[in-house]
Structure 1
Amino acid sequence: MNSLNLDTLTSPRIATLLFTLLSFAAPIDGLAADASPNDKRPNILFCFADDWGWPHGHVYGDEVVRSPALDRIARNGVLFEHAFVSSPSCTPSRNAVITGQAFYRLGEGANLHSTLDRAHPNFVSLLEDAGYQVGHYRKAWGPGDFTAGGYQTHPCGPNSTFDAFIAKLDTSKPFCFWFGTSDPHRPYKLGSGRESGLAIDKIDVPPFYPDEEIIRSDIADYYFEVERFNNEVDLVLDKLEQMGLSDNTIVVISGDHGMPFPRCKGNLYDGGTRVPLAIRWPSKVPIGRRVSDLVSLTDLAPTFLEAAGVRVPAQMTGRSLLPILSSKAEGRIDSSRNAVIVGRQRHTPAQESPSINGYPSRGIRTDEYLLIVNFEPDRWPAGVPSGSTHPINSFADCDNGPTKSRIMECNQDAENQQYYDRCFARRPAEELYVLADDPAQVDNRIDDPSLAEVAKILRNQLYEKLRETNDPLVVGNQKQASAFDRYPYRAKYELNK
């Protein structure tokens, strides 16, 4: 969801710490005036990868992965170093982006393979109503059934290639195009990363996996698809330049959550919620800057609307990034943007059959700490070891692949048991990580007496924000909170009975 304002948590200042909640934009619903013959409103090109997480971009310091489009947009725009999704699962993440709202406010849309209620304002629809030409390519909204939410047509506009869309464009009017992809979602071609020339031995393996060739190779296969997505975006950027449209086009590149590996996708650690983000707008945005503000992808919808002159609906919990984009400063630009809230409900029906329960969790991420609250710690964070409703029988919330298979084997190996436990074992009701000492977030310090006051402050601020934004887990009754587990799972395959 949207960024928060949390003063730096340092021991000498804990007693006097004040948390200043961000003030939401309070515009009135409405539309911009009709486009004029000389419409100068910006075009919008939103390039969104599937399962691409931070820090897997060359510009972020990863020496192995190749990310030409991300690097190109960052050079000519702004690179965000702390961007987060609202939820580390495809449908709720994308629903949060398109509505500019925290995922848990979206009813059924908080779950994977769900829908999107037409009652929630949608930035694409609002732009279309304001005279924008809209469209998308491949994966944009979803997965799920948008007709169940009241849509007659796709929430992101007609589906076509970018070349076909641009060929029919009325250049007197602005456009908004969502360039989607299934890269780098699994499955991967085994060995594709090595075959493409990636330096397998130089890959930085996260400390929650054993550093073994099978895992480095699996990460390289993921990197191969990261590069493939970037190469496609590069061609779209070339097309914009050839048509003379680059100067007044806002280009955004990002991913819907972390990589499809254990303890990443579907988890509230940085491996699941932190994503690449770069934005350029040559006619308006000072270039080549790195920004450290903590931002949420829910901020994109109000950014697009404000740039287009469309009033931002009051329901949107995100807030516009235009002040950051128009600034000439680097580093921390807006002091109020030093925390974000993340969370999840049901990813897949991964608990014991016949249940379709999820794993409800919320977290608050600051510059220094990550606090996670697991509301049902008796459930399994990645699903049960066997016997779930989902066709993936073991740990169904984690995509199958070589890394998952290797980590599952660690349960039979005392020397490597730690990797299995970190990825698949049950977790306590609360987790607290100190990022300076533990950037990978593997050492839970919630029981450390010296951090008790820190945990209390973070817990209070998390719940305060959840109450303010009407999270059913906090402000609703038990029936409302459990509704997330009762919503249908709208995948196109049979669940196990």
Structure 2
Amino acid sequence: MASNESDQPNVVMIHPHNLGQHVGCYGWDVETPNVDAIADEGVCFENYFCTASHCSPARGSLWTGRYPHNNGLIGLAHLGWELHEDERTLVMDLNDAGYSTHLFGLQHISSDPERAGFQHVNGSVHEFSVDEPADEVAESVESFLRDVDDDDRPFFASVGFSEVHREPLVERCLDCGWTFDLPGYDSADPEDVTPLPYLPDRPGIREDLAHFQGMIYAIDEAVGRIDDALAAAGLEDETLLIFTTDHGIGFPRSMGTCYDPGVETALLMRWPDRFEPGTVNEELLSAVDFRPTILELLGENPPSDVDGRSFEPLLTDGTYESRERIFLEFTWHSKYNPMRAVRTERYKYVRNFGDLPKVYIPAPLFSSAAGEEVRAEFYGSQRQREELYDLEADPHEQENLAEDPSCTERLASLRTAVDEWMKDTDDRLLEGKWPPSEIQEERVWKSPWIPRHDGRHC
């Protein structure tokens, strides 16, 4: 049996793209037996949220424990955004703790994989295209696990899947439609999929969901292969296995918003003989809590300069002070789209900055089948400056209560909470200091991935 001499476990962290909580163990009607098995054998966190509902900013918070407006990654890595030069990541912490750190597949926080801190790079997708599908990434991980020796240091393996991200129908064009319907993936029957409760039940949306689920099947199969490889190598019992996602699913009124479907993310952890199998935790948690939590689990001191705090006591029967709220943000995806928000167990408050459509649809979704079904109504009116939702009465955030006289006190309280958070975290948006500099704007808008929603096509 392969083992390391340290008491520290190996860590395998699997993280697909754009999946949100859309797997079986979170109640969705999709078959994901291998992912669900991690929940059955470990801990499922029901109310775990990212900081921003798009790729690089969400991942930046996961790795650094800091909000995007603090770590510098407010936009996408392949459009030129980067972490601040002095920003530290969980990977760097693990290097210092004696771990051998390995990257497989996607990372999407930097154009330079060394910037994230990995000692061994077995793949470094920093964009979103499915150039290295999940089965190929799984094969690389299987090969690595077969070669782990008894005297190896404990290892950390980051396993990133590019699924479930859409692909453009015409290479490097944002206007010509984006799809989940790619060669090599099965598809569900559009008639059999369960409609998304926050979108109308229309053919284009069902079509996208059917192909989306086909990619999910591929993710689940790859998860099963990696789990089997851990067992075959005799590493299962001494490995902390983590399955998580960056942000919500790539559909309208999800990705690119502060609504729950855009910011709710899966987090499953299994550590045999350490975590009670089948545990479901309902505490309100944020991705900025991830880095300090993992470090504390591994016996390391969490850094003091992070925006999150460890929820390790939830996993070790310690004393934990519950969060009353989490904070959310959005600044730049395919265009400047600034939002700040706060979510409690019951209420959501969103503040919108600038003159924007009712619901922003990011470029990859705008010309998709689902995007074409709803964009006229979403772009047909302006977004209100403030939004307030009662998540208990209105879980799909359809009725904005910001102008309801009975909600005046609640609105004022949450407005103040956002003001104080922005002030405490030195958010430049509070003082109107964004958009970014003209130099940054020039670099972004000269990118080959330029969104053009003005009627022009390639």
Question: In which range does the TM-score fall when normalised by the shorter chain?
Answer: 0.7 to 0.9
Contact 1:184 1:226 in 2 (8 A): yes
CA offsets per residue over residues 176-232 of structure 1, 9 Å max, x none? 111101111113454999964x35434332344321233212112111112211210
Matched with 1:339 is: 325
Matched with 2:121 is: 159
Aligned pairs for 1:103-114 (under 5 A) are 103-107=68-72, 109-113=73-77, 114=81
What amino acid maps onto 1:72 in structure 2?
A
Does residue 309 in structure 1 map to residue 271 in structure 2?
A: no
Matched with 2:32 is: 67
Distance (whole Å) between structure 2 residues aligned to residue 490 and residue 123 of structure 1: 31
Q: Cα distance, 1:321 vs. partner?
A: 2.4
Distance (whole Å) between structure 2 residues aligned to residue 489 and residue 443 of structure 1: 35
Matched with 2:456 is: none
Does residue 85 in structure 1 map to residue 47 in structure 2?
A: no
SS at match of 1:342: strand
Q: Cα distance, 1:320 vs. partner?
A: 1.7
Distance (whole Å) between structure 2 residues aligned to residue 324 and residue 395 of structure 1: 36
Does residue 39 in structure 1 map to residue 19 in structure 2?
A: no
Does residue 483 in structure 1 map to residue 436 in structure 2?
A: yes
Matched with 1:416 is: none
Distance 1:221 1:241, change over 3 A: same
Distance 1:174 1:158, change over 3 A: same
Residue 224 of structure 1: which of 206, 214, 230 is its match? 214
Distance (whole Å) between structure 1 residues aligned to residue 120 and residue 385 of structure 2: 44
Q: Cα distance, 1:163 vs. partner?
A: 2.6
Matched with 2:127 is: none
Does residue 182 in structure 1 map to residue 162 in structure 2?
A: yes
Matched with 1:26 is: none
Distance (whole Å) between structure 2 residues aligned to residue 213 and residue 494 of structure 1: 28
Matched with 1:366 is: 344
Residue 145 of structure 1: which of 100, 111, 128 is its match? 111
The aligned length equals 416
Q: Cα distance, 1:483 vs. partner?
A: 2.7
Matched with 1:348 is: 334
What amino acid maps onto 1:165 in structure 2?
F
Contact 1:53 1:276 in 2 (8 A): yes
Residue 422 of structure 2: which of 458, 466, 487 is its match? 466
Distance 1:205 1:171, change over 3 A: same
Give the TM-score taking structure 1 as reference length. Answer: 0.77
CA offsets per residue over residues 377-411 of structure 1, 9 Å max, x none? x134766xxxxxxxxxx962635321112223xx3
Contact 1:132 1:174 in 2 (8 A): yes
* Higher mean C-alpha displacement, 173-182 vs 334-343: 334-343
Distance 1:206 1:493, change over 3 A: same
Matched with 2:23 is: 57
Aligned pairs for 1:234-249 (under 5 A) are 234-249=224-239
Give the TM-score taking structure 2 as reference length. Answer: 0.83
Contact 1:81 1:291 in 2 (8 A): yes
Distance (whole Å) between structure 2 residues aligned to residue 451 and residue 318 of structure 1: 29
Does residue 493 in structure 1 map to residue 458 in structure 2?
A: no
Distance 1:112 1:195, change over 3 A: closer
SS at match of 1:275: coil
Unaligned runs of 5+ in 2: 123-139, 168-178, 453-458
What amino acid maps onto 1:58 in structure 2?
G
Distance (whole Å) between structure 2 residues aligned to residue 485 and residue 289 of structure 1: 50
Aligned pairs for 1:417-496 (under 5 A) are 420-421=377-378, 425-474=381-430, 477-479=431-433, 481-483=434-436, 487=440, 488-489=443-444, 493=448, 495=450
SS at match of 1:324: helix
Contact 1:382 1:397 in 2 (8 A): no
Aligned pairs for 1:379-418 (under 5 A) are 379-380=356-357, 396=363, 398=365, 400-408=367-375, 411=376
What amino acid maps onto 1:489 in structure 2?
V
What amino acid maps onto 1:482 in structure 2?
P
SS at match of 1:363: strand
Matched with 2:148 is: 169
Distance 1:189 1:135, change over 3 A: same
Distance 1:86 1:157, change over 3 A: farther
Distance (whole Å) between structure 2 residues aligned to residue 72 and residue 279 of structure 1: 11
Distance (whole Å) between structure 2 residues aligned to residue 205 and residue 43 of structure 1: 39
* Higher mean C-alpha displacement, 167-176 vs 223-232: 167-176
Distance 1:424 1:242, change over 3 A: farther
CA offsets per residue over residues 346-376 of structure 1, 9 Å max, x none? 0113xxxxxxxx1111111111111001122
Q: Cα distance, 1:456 vs. partner?
A: 0.9
Distance 1:84 1:180, change over 3 A: same
Distance (whole Å) between structure 1 residues aligned to residue 8 and residue 46 of structure 2: 28
Residue 82 of structure 2: which of 100, 109, 115 is its match? 115
Identical pairs, percent: 28
Residue 76 of structure 1: which of 34, 41, 48 is its match? 41
Does residue 291 in structure 1 map to residue 304 in structure 2?
A: no
Distance (whole Å) between structure 2 residues aligned to residue 361 and residue 396 of structure 1: 17
Q: Cα distance, 1:312 vs. partner?
A: 1.8
CA RMSD between the two structures: 2.8
Residue 101 of structure 2: which of 134, 139, 147 is its match? 134
Matched with 1:414 is: none
Distance (whole Å) between structure 2 residues aligned to residue 96 and residue 455 of structure 1: 27
SS at match of 1:465: helix
